[in-house]
Structure 1
Amino acid sequence: MPTRILPAVGDADAVRSITTLLSQLPDAEPVPPVTDSTQLVDTLARLAAESVDELPEVVLVHERIGPVPALELIREVALRFPAVGVILVTSDAGPGLFQAAMDHGARGLVALPLHYEELAARVSVVAQWSVGVRRHLGSGADVLTGPGGTVVTVSGAKGGVGTTVTAVQLALAAQASGRSTAVLDLDLQTGDVASYLDVQFRRSVADLAAITDISPRVLADAVFRHDSGLALLLAPAEGERGEDVTDRAARAVVGALRSRYDVVVIDCGAQLGGAGAAAVETADRALLVTTPDVVAVRGAKRAVRMWDRLQIRKAEETTVVVNRHTRTTEIQPPLIARITGAPVAATTVPAHYKELQGAVDAGRLHELDGRSTVRQALWGLAAELGLVTAPVPAGKTGRAVVLRRRKGGAG
């Protein structure tokens, strides 16, 4: 059986030399190379969605791949696609980098300039390892075999546009439909998820920032289990601790959550730092919430263009959500789509803040009346995004549905 090898190389000269050498390996089937980290993860996710058997046995990650650094990319691939063996291609073959690569999940390292014998030997060993893992997965072991849960980021065009309300209600809709759901508050200095859900907590995402290998037990210790059934990983109560959560830490946290929950909703707030940028880049869906006014729409346009310039997210891969929409406002969704250059969700959220005020002031957003047009719209948005497995009756809260399901012995 041929060994499928996928090179992830951003440098054109390196692509030519690596693909030429790979074509000479016995029983090798080189896959067309990918040129950046986003393309690699997207390619593997698409293949994994079909079957774990569709994934290449070996991925070669070049040290100059971007925009995600090579070691961080290796960690993400190892977390999301554990049946794929990753080899780091690097000019630094010293013991320090070797150990770092192993710690991040690589199965091997080959030095530049490449030599046939070394590459052939390493590919052979890693391919055998990958085949063994897949045989183990086929025996029914409880191991993550695909891209994991769905990650959705919710960012604001500016402050006060309804980012947290949107994130929490999307999560509640997913949870109520029977999917295990986590909310991650990455609005690190001013996060309000805890206030909206009346939560008193001791641990936060900052407590995971220095941990290089987030085990299920470590993650469980940091997560707050809410009455609604949601798992909450909250922003630190002391805003200055948010600086501890780097882009590297954010990727590790998001990867750990993705491997444990069906849906992960991330509140990124309106100020996008390194952690939020890492989350937006790796998310399956990235939402940008705006209100239909000139200042907010200009903010949305700036954000879309900045994400595109920094290679965080392409404009066509960002979904704009219009909050506080009315039919009489001059700025309507088609105009917002033209201004921002990004697609706008078909579901708009009506301007009925009075429906929310009581639940928000009491910190009981999860108990928002099911007849609320705002909640109905946001749960409809969750359905549009594919976050719910089945429609949830409008008059039911997430907790009621969860309790009924448990009593019935399902799920």
Structure 2
Amino acid sequence: MSNVLRIALVDPSDGSREALKGKLLGMDTIWLEADCSRYEFFPDVIEQTAPDVGVITLDSNPEKAIELIQRLATSAPDTAILAASEQTDGQLILRTMRAGAREFLTLPLSSDDLDEALRRVSQMKFGSADAGGRSCEVYAIAGATGGVGSTSTAVNLGCVLASEPQNSVALLDLDLALGDADVFLDSIPDYTLADVVQNISRLDIQLLKRSLTKHSSGLYLLPRPVELQDTLSITDDSIRKVIGLLKASFTHLIIDLSKTYSSVDMAAIESATRVVLVTQLDLPCLRNVVRLMMGFEEIDDLHNKVEIVVNRAGLETGQISLKKAKETLGREIFALLPNDYRTMVEVRNNGVPLIVQAPKAAITQGIRELAEKLEKGSSPAAEAGEEPAKASESKWKKFWPGVKQ
């Protein structure tokens, strides 16, 4: 598990509490365990949740807030107290620090000040400057069409990443109707995404991990619902909450998308660090890639985090040349996964990942290389210094018949 700081917040003012919550929820390296609107209730919140950090705002009643800090410094010494106030009076700051606060933050809170304060708390708790600084990498695996191997890529990428001892990896199956990540892992899960969504308001990190199915490779799986009607309860808002909790719990999150590019899929895509778009070297697939990239240009920053991965490269019949594909797409191919139909059929039918079934196969090496490239954290477009394409100047439109430039 990544070194995520669990935080509880108390602020009697609704406006500033919501602003603080918004700031905290936007950070990958923390999990907001609880928020409270009454100073007198906060000791019970701390006792029940045992957070790493307690954030206490002073402005509603500085005397009560300072008394609370002093009480918690004695009763909950493992919880670092951060005080926050719009006031910058030196005497108030001195009293707050003497009461036991680790940090004093000025409201409205700046991201830099919060990051620095949490870094110092994390360093004290986890023992090194880098320990708490690693955020979760989210890789959304998309397919240009059905049958291109996006699920096999997602599952095997997750297993490769999970094989590294420093990683904790979860796989979320978002193909809500026909997902089969559990088949690839020969797993019979006790809980599904529908169960997690129904209980999202009561979940914490520990309960979430107990709801996942752990594979022998170390990969945790959250599968799609069993019943089709259960998919109706899963919305883009609920998926954002699930992803937020998973990001706070793991160093890596792999999301296997459906091929519908629904609002749920797009919420996951927007949450992703990188989007791996799996295609094959045939005309229907490449045409769909062009169409998808045109759509992605309409969403801020999305176009630049998409990486195109060619699966079944080297298939002798029915493929367009790699050179022609690059010309059609107008950009480099991020990675190639070699064609190995026989091995992949065995992997799927046996429910065993590539690193176990065929650790020396070329396709397994291809997945390892894909993982290594993703971990480097830079895309070819970024390295080349390309600016995001504007929709009005889209280079993709020249490849799409009937679209005026």
**Size of the alignment, in residue pairs?**
288
Could you tell me how far apart the structure 2 residues matched to 1:330 and 1:132 are?
A: 54
Runs of 4+ in 1 over 6 A off after TM superposition: 70-73, 105-108
Query: What letter matches 1:358 in structure 2?
Result: E
Q: Which range is displaced more, 217-226 or 287-296?
A: 217-226
Provide the secondary structure at the position in 2 that maps to 1:200: coil
Matching of residue 124 in structure 1 with residue 106 in structure 2 = yes
1:112-191 maps to which residues of 2 (within 5 A)?
124-125=106-107, 127=109, 130=114, 133=118, 135-140=120-125, 145-146=132-133, 148-178=135-165, 179-191=167-179
Deviates more, 1:366-375 or 1:246-255: 366-375
Residues 38-63 of structure 1 deviation map (CA, whole Å, 9 limit, x = unaligned): xxxxxxxxxxxxxx9xxxxxxxxxx9
Q: Quick one: which amino acid aligns to residue 106 of structure 2? A: S
Task: Give a deviation string over 1:287-333, Cα, whole Å, max 9, x none.
Answer: 0000111111111111222222244711x321010011117565233
For residues 107 and 335 of structure 1, the distance between their equivalents in structure 2, rounded to whole angstroms, comes to 60
Is residue 2:297 matched to residue 1:297? no
AA aligned opposite 1:332: S
Q: CA deviation at 1:152?
A: 0.7
* Aligned residue number for residue 35 of structure 1: none
Find the structure with the greater CA-based Rg: 2
8 A contact 1:81–1:147 mirrored in 2:
no
Matches within 5 A, 1:225-264: 225-264=214-253
Equivalent position of 2:196 in the other structure: 208
Determine whether 1:363 maps to 2:351: yes
Tell me, yes or no, if structure 1 residue 77 matches structure 2 residue 26.
yes
The letter of the residue matching 2:125 is G
Give the 3 Å change call, closer, same or farther, for CA 264–142 of structure 1 in structure 2: farther
Find the aligned partners of 1:302 and 1:107 in 2 and give their Cα distance: 49
| Amino acid in structure 1 at the alignment position of 2:137 | T
Structure 1 length as normaliser, TM-score?
A: 0.61
Q: Which amino acid counterpart does residue 231 of structure 2 have in structure 1?
A: G
Question: Per-residue displacement from partner, 1:322-356 (whole Å, max 9, x unpaired)?
Answer: 011117565233433443345421x3112221121
Mapping of residues 52-71 of structure 1, within 5 Å: none
Instruction: Look up the match of 1:89.
Output: none
Give the conservation status (yes or no) of the 8 Å contact 1:318–1:342.
no
**Is residue 280–residue 312 contact of structure 1 (8 Å, CA) maintained in 2?**
no
| 1:239–1:266 CA distance, 2 compared to 1 (3 A) | same
The letter of the residue matching 2:184 is Y
User: In the alignment, which residue of structure 1 is the partner of 2:336?
Assistant: 348
C-alpha distance in structure 1 between counterparts of 2:261 and 2:310, whole Å: 19
Structure 1 residues not aligned, in runs of 5+: 1-51, 53-62, 64-69, 84-104, 109-118, 389-411
CA RMSD, 1 decimal = 3.5
1:133-190 Cα deviation digits (max 9, x unpaired): 5553342259984362211110000000000110111111112232221111111111
The answer on whether the counterparts of 1:74 and 1:106 sit within 8 Å (CA) in structure 2 is no
- Equivalent position SS for 1:386: helix
CA offsets, 1:85-143, max 9 Å, x none? xxxxxxxxxxxxxxxxxxxx9999xxxxxxxxxx9669834549947655533422599
Q: Could you say which residue in structure 2 is the equivalent of 1:220?
A: 209
C-alpha distance 274-235 of structure 1, shift in aligned 2 (>3 A):
same
CA pair 335-244 structure 1, distance change in 2 beyond 3 A: farther
Separation of aligned partners in 2, 1:350 and 1:204: 32
Q: TM-score, normalised by structure 2?
A: 0.62
Specify the code of the residue in structure 2 equivalent to 1:177.
E
Partner of 1:202, secondary structure, is: coil
Aligned identity (percent) is 25
Query: Residue 135 and residue 147 in structure 1: after superposition, are their counterparts in 2 closer, same or farther (change >3 A)?
Result: closer
> What residue in structure 1 maps to residue 78 of structure 2?
none
Match of 1:331 in 2: 320
Partner Cα separation in structure 1 for residue 236 and residue 267 of structure 2? 5
